[in-house]
A and B are shown apart, each in its own frame.
Chain A
Amino acid sequence: MKKYLAVFKLSLAREFEYRLNFLLGRLRNVIVLLLLFYVWRALTLKTGTFAGYSGQELITYVFGVNILRSVIFGIQSRRLASDINDGSFSKYLTQPLNIFWFQFFRELGQRAIHLLSAIFEVIIFVIILKVDIFIQTDVIILFALLVAAALSLALYYLLSYLVSMLAFWSCEAMGPRFLFEWFLEFASGAYFPLSILSQSIFLGLAFLPFAYLIFFPIELYLMRISIWQFLFGIGMQIIWILIVGILCRYVWNKGLKKYSGEGI
């Protein structure tokens, strides 16, 4: 555990080292935040509600996404694909560490900084734009949110890891990752609440793992789901973690046999 803590600390330090990259990464989030904020504000300006959401709920959704995605959506496992493709993956095989947890703690260090930045951005925008956001004070809901967010983090990491392992079979793993990332952005509800989509599309997405990454935790925060829907959501998260986890293990074992260290 000590060595993974060291990885976590190094990852934090690395983010501070490449400050410009970090700021550019955050800038993208800020522009998307502004875009969505103004879209929803324009839609709720007249009546104060839209698609069953109050103006306050929609704005909280946008700001909540900014915070939640900063914790959940990482890019470290993308490095796994490029490491496999260029052969630098070999060095991990000779080191006394588990690469899964190594990448995870490296991701966690990076995410910690992004989380602090996202909270800071939200506070700044709430003040500048003079918006009224919903602050959840119910301790039970906040605890449930913590559990749902932790499961989202685990599910995203496993999904991302699985896609990156395509690199064991093909040197063209970055294209599928691009496809995966864009599908995930939308299907997770990171751009808009999935419930504004038509019933059939929404139901289709509800059985995929993506909706439980962003949409579900924020709906929980806004208290827009019943206790049964909460239990169903947590259940879906656990089921998908188990399915993707088992797949990861299988693909890892197969992939290691296939790995040739090409590019060393």
Chain B
Amino acid sequence: MKKYFKVWKQLSICAISSYLSNRIDSFSYFFGKVIRFGFFLLLIFSIFNYTDSLAGYSKYEVILFFLTFNLLDVFAQAFFRGIYLFKDEVRLGNFDFTLTRPVNPLFYSISRLTDILDMIFLIPILVFIVFTINKLGLEFGFLNIFLYLSLVLIGALTILGIHIISAGITMWTMESDNVVWFYRESMTIGRFPPEIYSGFLQFVFTFVMPVIMIVAFPVKALFGLLAFKWAVFALAYSVSFFYVSILLWKLSLKKYSSASS
């Protein structure tokens, strides 16, 4: 564990050096993320200038859905960013060198690039979440907060599983990282409460591409709106999904043919 932390720390230091040497790019990317975040927040505030509720949720409740979406999305961008480089690693044959390193190739492939900008961006998101929960003025019990945090972690584990599956499929197809991009696009659905969508879409985005499970379950658990059986389902789904993703990764490693090296 200590060895892996040291590897991650070193890789992160390299990433920081890279971001600091490309200051215009870094500043622009960060500011672009702030603009995207700010405009969506502005949209929610503007919507609530005309109405009191969206699908039965108040302004700050909707904002909490949006912030939890950002928390999980930005977390994955910050810590699993390496997967976006994996396609080229495989295509160019550089993955061979990763396999020879005395470190788990899956760990290295996922964490080889830490997005420092997203790590920094996590801080205001967490501050906003605390502020919003405070603003809601509800008396949350220990169980609600525990469930919220647990389901956020469960969501993060599912996202990690999706990234591993993407890497596995990339090794099979040798050309594309479509799964991770499909996940990125699908996560958009999590910006708003799931009740606004049709029953069919809610089904698809709970069971097939579990965006609703990842983003909405924690928030609903905090509000006391999630039946305990759904929390158990999320745990079982996430662990099974992660286990399957590891199996697929191992299978893909056996299949890896080192075509371009």
Contacts and interface: CB of A to CB of B under 8 A. Distances in A.
Interface in B23-38: 23-29, 31-33, 35-36
- Interface residues of A, dominant DSSP: helix
Contacts of B22: 172, 175
Given A42-B54, A192-B46, A176 B24 contact: yes
Given A51-B50, A186-B35, A196-B47, A34 B28 contact: no
Contacts, number: 96
Contact of B28 (A20, A50, A176, A196): A176
Contact-size category for B? 35 or more
Given A35-B188, A196-B46, A50 B51 contact: yes
Contact of B182 (A27, A43, A177): A27
Contact-size category for A? 20 to 34
Nearest to A50: B50
A35 B189 contact: yes
Contacts of B43: 191-192
Interface in B175-208: 176, 178, 181-182, 185-186, 188-189, 191-192, 195-198, 201
Interface of A: 20, 24, 27-28, 31-32, 34-35, 38-39, 41-43, 50-51, 170, 172, 174-179, 181-183, 185-186, 191-192, 196-198, 201
Interface of B: 22-29, 31-33, 35-36, 39, 42-43, 46-47, 49-51, 54-55, 176, 178, 181-182, 185-186, 188-189, 191-192, 195-198, 201
Given A172-B24, A182-B35, A192-B43, 15 more contacts: A20-B176, A24-B178, A28-B185, A31-B185, A31-B188, A39-B54, A42-B195, A172-B22, A172-B23, A178-B28, A182-B32, A182-B39, A192-B46, A197-B42, A198-B49
